[in-house]
Chains A and B, each alone.
Chain A
Amino acid sequence: MSVPVVGVETDADGGAASIATPTLRALLRRSSFWIIAGAGIIGVAVVAVLVSGGTNVVGRALAGDNPSPAGSMALVEVLRQQGVTVQLADSLAEVRSLAGNNSTVLLYDENGYLIDSQLAELARLATRTVIVAPDFLALQSLAPAVGFGGVSGAKSLVADCALPAANRAEQIIPGGNTLSLPGSGTGCFPSGKDTFSVVQNGSTTLVADPRVFNNENVAGFGNAALALGLLGQSDSVIWYLPTLADLPRTGPPSLAALTPGWVTPVLLLLGVTAIAAAFWRGRRFGPLVAENLPVTVKASETMEGRARLYARSNARLRALDALRIGAVQRLATTVGLGRLAPLEEIIGSVAALTGGAPATVRSVLVEAVPTSDAQLLALSDSLLALERATSRAVAAGAAPETGGVASAIPPALSPTDLETERMDP
């Protein structure tokens, strides 16, 4: 068929209005609110971090560059103002390179990174050592005579010793851990028998309570006097807080040490390539086209649904009734009776035509009640057989067949057998 009418639809104006994609400038103008709002939010966030960052950042405890309450920046700065060179060290190697012939080392090993030999080397390197909150290993290797004294119960800690720095301090912050010194030695700030907060053991001074040095408490009691007195004796102080770098390396070299230098950049390049490829494949060629799809309903759905309902509720008789009514109507038409013919007449004609007993035909068409699925199937088969036999008989010129239906109906379906049949659960 040729197309009857040719219509022409043109896009005559062809101006800027016919371009759906916005220009970069229009896009920026349209989204200017969001750009400005985003920039504003980022700006406010940056300002807020800068303003509150000084107090909120929780750095390492007693770190010399940490201005938070747990840090020790105040003490370090005061020492520097007094002309003492304070150098911060993160590893024993750094201490080794920094140590002069008259330097004090402050050691605060919060996580217990240092081992025996490292502690011994540290003691050799420094002229004086101040160990804050020594752990068991530190006590073992540097001051074997000193033990742990538990938490101080004294209300106030008074110097009460020969150490000049302690004497000048007079008092330090009460509470905190103590050290026990059962034998002879210099112990200051006692809180009970043989328990002291500060113990001097040769060139090593042990301070049990780290709070003496932190920003929060250094200004209270005589804390500052004790700290400055202990650390200000020499020109240079090495502020040493051990890190992971001090852990001894064991095992085979790591993967990073074995891979060549170009591996990470190439991996990054692959990542960039993957992003570019995603953009290449994922960029849409224009907007999606919408289409209204029609409703699709299969007309046989109701029939299938009814069949499943029959099967689920084992509605054998109801199902058989439908089949029987259909069969009776077809039989009525086959034998030449009207659609509204009485059932008895139909049974009579069918029985006469097929040569079966009217009682058998009646049982198949009306009376037999199936009690199991097998019986239902058998009955449906005999219905079909009856229909076939009838139409054969009609086609053969109404010559009665002998035993046509009687053999088609299984003996299990005679009414007497049905009574004795086991009921299905």
Chain B
Amino acid sequence: MTLSGRFVFLVALGAVPIVLLGNTTSRAFALLLVWLLFALVLGGIDLALAASPRAVTVERMLPARVRLGESVTSELYLSNSGRRRLVGTVRDAWQPSAGAGNNRSPVVLPPGERRLISLVLTPFRRGERRVDQVTVRSRGPLGLWSRQVTLNAPGRIRVLPPFHARKHLPSRITRLKELDGRTSVMVRGPGTEFDSLREYVRGDDVRSIDWRATARRNDVMVRTWRPERDRRVVILLDTGRTAAARVDNEPRLDTAFEAALLLAALASVAGDRVDFLAFDRRVRGRVQGASGAALLSQMVDSMALIDPELIEMDWAAVPGQIRSITSQHALVVLLTSIDAAGASTGLLSVLPQLTKRHTVVVASVLDPVTVEAAATRGDRDALYRAAAAERALLDVARVSAAIRQLGADVVTNSPAQLPPALADRYIALKAAGRL
């Protein structure tokens, strides 16, 4: 039960008769009592005449998935199985991060009919957004008192990572295609395989001329090469505590998602097999054996529910996890964070095991705030800040050098630039035939 502003106004209106007619104290008190009784009786009658919200049944239709930043419509069907016409308000109790805005809608439900209440959801957080209950408030004919009932109507919607980095995909695919059919020595290497013969055009490398074919065809022929296909790419995501840190108002984990998605999209276009693993002390998400469109949709689906865990990454278990995915040579991309030497000992201790078998790339976000602070020297505070920033950068440089020494590759960049940088490194490695 609840009451409306109209009822409050009705109670306050009692001041008029009390002031006009209550010339003695006892008479004024009697008027007060009579007025309050009058208001209560009126409210009670109103409540008794209101349609029962218990007679309302709820049905919900929801799209299963939405990308972060996009909007979907949530449909809620209310049917009135009671005998009275229900006039009131409905609140669809979505979690705040589902971005429902004003979730209270007026509703008029004649008996035996069904009405649609649609709500535009623009979720602003990744993951699973839920709704559990719908509250119906049924107003009486006078609009003084209302009946209120909460109905269970569970629903959920999975909010996928946005994949903003897909804007870099077309240009990277173009560059990947340029690798195809190139004759340049730069492309030739152990990782490239013979593709076809074609006629020589000016500008081709003369070292690519196939003299035997030239003799056969009476025309100068060149060999062309294409990058190897069907290589394996394993993307390992560190979801430990360092992934929770925000760089440029974006958690490291989300940047890692973007980079992983761009790399996976690119690698699957290039014909490589991509496996994805999110890991801290146990497996948080895994996508194996998918390719093409299924790969990306499975990846975003598993990423949607992953949140950084406030525990330390178990690097010792990583080689075993990668061995369980592939025993062949693969490109292993570790999306983690490179901080001080002390925090990176786990990573450094397992790198030799990985680099012995695989080509390893360690990708990490570099905080642009640190880079900027290192160059700002105004007053005393700014100077010490610059020194601390420089120290942090030196730590990163030291760990990066150690990683390179252990035979792995390092990609560090700002959150916006890390996904394309990682994609570029992938293309470079492919061109060099190191996959």
- B128: shortest Cβ distance to chain A, in Å? 10
**Interface size class of chain B, counting residues whose CB lies under 8 Å from the partner chain:** 35 or more
Is residue A276 within 8 Å, beta carbon to beta carbon, of the partner chain?
yes
B residues within 8 A CB of A244? none
Is residue B324 within 8 Å, beta carbon to beta carbon, of the partner chain?
no
Q: Is the CB of A286 within 8 A of B91?
A: yes
Instruction: State the CA gap A10–B154 with chains docked (Å).
Output: 8
29 pairs from A and B in contact (CB 8 Å cutoff)? A3-B72, A7-B62, A8-B61, A9-B61, A11-B58, A12-B59, A18-B151, A20-B133, A20-B151, A261-B23, A270-B15, A273-B11, A280-B7, A283-B148, A286-B148, A294-B125, A296-B244, A296-B246, A298-B246, A300-B247, A307-B385, A319-B383, A319-B387, A320-B387, A323-B386, A323-B390, A326-B390, A329-B394, A377-B379
* A21-B148, A262-B18, A266-B18 known; A277-B25 Cβ under 8 A: no
Instruction: State the CA gap A322–B60 with chains docked (Å).
Output: 61
Is residue B429 within 8 Å, beta carbon to beta carbon, of the partner chain?
no
Q: Is the CB of B377 within 8 A of A265?
A: no
- A20: shortest Cβ distance to chain B, in Å? 4
Q: Is the CB of A326 within 8 A of B394?
A: yes
Q: Is the CB of B384 within 8 A of A287?
A: no
Residue from B3, B59, B149, B379 within 8 A of A11 (CB atoms): B59
B residues within 8 A CB of A302? 339, 392
B contacts, CB < 8 Å to A: 2-5, 7-8, 11-12, 14-15, 18-19, 22-29, 31-32, 35-36, 54, 57-67, 70, 72, 89, 91, 93-97, 104, 125, 131-135, 137, 148-156, 244-247, 251-252, 297, 307-308, 310, 339, 365, 367, 369-370, 373-374, 377, 379-381, 383-394, 397, 401
Instruction: State the CA gap A295–B385 with chains docked (Å).
Output: 25
* A11-B152, A323-B386 known; A262-B22 Cβ under 8 A: yes
Is residue A162 within 8 Å, beta carbon to beta carbon, of the partner chain?
no
Interface of B is mostly: mixed
Q: Is the CB of A287 within 8 A of B28?
A: no
Is residue A291 within 8 Å, beta carbon to beta carbon, of the partner chain?
yes
* A19-B149, A266-B15 known; A287-B133 Cβ under 8 A: yes
Q: Is the CB of A294 within 8 A of B251?
A: yes
* A269-B14, A269-B18 known; A295-B60 Cβ under 8 A: no
- A123: shortest Cβ distance to chain B, in Å? 38
A residues within 8 A CB of B64? 3, 5-7
Q: Is the CB of A265 within 8 A of B67?
A: no
- A364: shortest Cβ distance to chain B, in Å? 14
Is residue A31 within 8 Å, beta carbon to beta carbon, of the partner chain?
no
- A327: shortest Cβ distance to chain B, in Å? 8
Q: Is the CB of B32 within 8 A of A265?
A: yes
Is residue A297 within 8 Å, beta carbon to beta carbon, of the partner chain?
yes
Q: Is the CB of B151 within 8 A of A326?
A: no
Instruction: State the CA gap A319–B65 with chains docked (Å).
Output: 50
Residue from A10, A23, A306, A319 within 8 A of B392 (CB atoms): A306
Is residue A311 within 8 Å, beta carbon to beta carbon, of the partner chain?
yes
B residues within 8 A CB of A9? 60-62, 154-156
Instruction: State the CA gap A279–B104 with chains docked (Å).
Output: 19
Q: Is the CB of B149 within 8 A of A261?
A: no
Instruction: State the CA gap A304–B384 with chains docked (Å).
Output: 9
A residues within 8 A CB of B148? 21, 283, 285-286
Instruction: State the CA gap A261–B31 with chains docked (Å).
Output: 12
B residues within 8 A CB of A261? 22-28
A residues within 8 A CB of B24? 261
Q: Is the CB of B57 within 8 A of A280?
A: no
Q: Is the CB of B135 within 8 A of A285?
A: yes
* A9-B155, A273-B11, A322-B394 known; A20-B150 Cβ under 8 A: yes
Is residue A376 within 8 Å, beta carbon to beta carbon, of the partner chain?
yes
* A5-B65, A299-B246, A380-B383 known; A279-B2 Cβ under 8 A: yes
